[in-house]
Structure 1
Amino acid sequence: MVHNDMVEVRGFSFLKEIFDQRGWPFPVQVPLDGECTAEELARRMDLPREKIEGVFINGLAGPLDRTVHPGDRVAFVPPGTPGPYRVILGLVKTSKEQNNSVPGDAGN
């Protein structure tokens, strides 16, 4: 059960190995006193950014700029997810989505 001031965090593949090396339970409960991005949460947990490609927040996949709130369930996804699944999971945009981006938008 996730408390209101905590987030439940999981890491898959290489990231699960880091959790194990650090002696963290799976999932690990991380205190969070307000919202932050998934990237900021990973930084607070000292997880290597280069080993994270995307995130699931409450079962919905997306990029690391998504917002995490206290009480959320978070799972970090490592690089290496097969091509089509990266689009299906929302880890990358399709070429059509990129072409419809607002000028000046980095495509995030």
Structure 2
Amino acid sequence: METKTLISSYDEINDTFVAKVDGEYGISADYDISDGIFLGIDKNNVPNSVYVNNASEVFKIPKEILENSNVVIYIDCNMVCLNFHMFIEGLKICSIRCRNDFGIPEISFEIDSNH
């Protein structure tokens, strides 16, 4: 499993969570992988960012938890399924399994704010 460095931020006023892979720029598409969780992909169809509006409602957690910068995201994908898991301070915030209708290649990596 490949590990990448994550940069994340949370805007409490607008209740918006944003995370991106450090050093990667440019998004060629955003996909709604689950009710309000958007996964950005680069020109090679590899995920490089996450955006969630109304994050405390989408994740069903207090805003104070989202303010924590200790975030880890795991993404596993094959030609059929995409698995997305997000943790804050070791607490599982989100676990999604959906069809890979996005053209994302077979990948397995961890994006960690502490890497």
Question: TM-score band, normalised by the shorter chain?
Answer: under 0.3
Q: Which has the larger radius of gyration?
A: 1
- TM-score calculated relative to the size of structure 2: 0.25
- Greater share of residues in helix: 1
More strand, by proportion = 2
TM-score by structure 1 length? 0.26
